[in-house]
């Protein structure tokens, strides 16, 4: 069983910004992160206007 990875806030914001500039699926594959996580982070950060 694989242990859940913990990503810090700055990493998540940078990943979301990169995904918004390029492609969510491509970024997810490149960093080994599920695209659904990136979409979820985007929604969370947009709620608090940290990412536009």
User: Which tokens hold the place of 31?
Assistant: 């960093």
Within a domain: residue 35?
yes
Within a domain: residue 39?
yes
pLDDT band at 1 (very low <50, low <70, confident <90, very high): low
pLDDT band at 2 (very low <50, low <70, confident <90, very high): low
- For residue 41, what are the domain limits? 9-47
Within a domain: residue 19?
yes
pTM given for the model: 0.85
Within a domain: residue 52?
no
- Tally of domains in the chain: 1
Cβ distance 16 to 49 under 8 Å? no
Within a domain: residue 4?
no
Within a domain: residue 2?
no
Within a domain: residue 1?
no
* CA distances from residue 22 to 3, 27, 37 in whole angstroms, order as listed: 29, 8, 16
């Amino acid at each position: 069983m694989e242990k859940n990875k913990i990503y810090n806030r700055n990493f998540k914001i940078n990943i979301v910004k990169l995904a918004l500039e390029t492609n969510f699926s491509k970024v997810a594959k490149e960093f080994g992160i599920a695209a659904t996580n990136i979409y979820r982070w985007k929604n969370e950060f947009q709620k608090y206007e940290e990412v536009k």
